[in-house]
Chain A
């Protein structure tokens, strides 16, 4: 097998294993969060193999770095330990999880029986920041501004809520 194929299977196995680790580590939230980070990093590796470099870096920076650190911060601030979650509360979720796994496995088997099409050629500059930047600030500039307005409203809202507690 070629190196990219080997790397793909390594990252894919890592992503699945760490995702399972996150789900199974219900009692130990910090270990669960670390497994989530591992999943993000493995996914970023797969994005790199797909030549989507910017997405890979943002995957690590934003999801792996910033967001899960915030999860961890909250978990550690509350100092959740194993006995915080009584067993048997998540019966419905378990049923849903089993159904979901069955659906995914069935879909995967259906895909495996068919031959996949060859990937098309990669356009020039694909996956870099330049193309994305041009698209964001020309075609989608209105959407970017709307998103920033939404975030600003969220920040102001959070400040108002937090300020009431401090006063």
Chain B
């Protein structure tokens, strides 16, 4: 009996920590999302307003804009990161000193703080002294003097680029792990049969990498949905509201406008979106495994 209870007993401290740091705040924010709480007027949450905060979100143009901006950002960022990561993994799967060295160098962007990346890119795209703005202007005179971050589309493009630059190394390593698990025999057999490199990649490697790529996509999607740091330090959500992501908007509502009830509702909407996407990916992953098992 004691031996049976011991594992449960040992789990209690960890459970209590998770309860205090994750489950309680989540539950509290869920309850708060149904209440009115203007922090400038009340120290504690006020009256219940039912679905009022959620309905406000459904009709508020700023929220709908942030939802659209987030969608554009997530799709661009996830697709580009996966394409680059998979391509780089293919290039780096060989062994050798140069490849090992490149793999080590590759991790550097991922080691950088996202906020610092935003600040650095803001400097680099400064039209007066930014090294990238000046360099591009020198290489392509037509780009000289372009205020990169002042254009809504270019600003979004640069935001996506910084995120892809930041995450590609990590995702490359995930893909390298996946590639290492593919049996070499299938590729060799195809090569003997005269298949081209491209055909081998698309018809042999990619199908076997589907599981790894799905996991990579789930992770990248969740990280992209939370995009906040670079928005703050690179674009400030501008120009206008063209780069205001959902996480940035929620921060403004909660910690600049002090509307905690509404901010909680928005945070739960973001959580539900992430849960739904994760569930969809996992379902795809499981169905994939069933097909393989069959």
The answer to whether A and B come from one shared complex is: no
Which chain B residues have a beta carbon within 8 Å of chain A's beta carbons? none
**A residues neighboring B (CB under 8 Å):** none
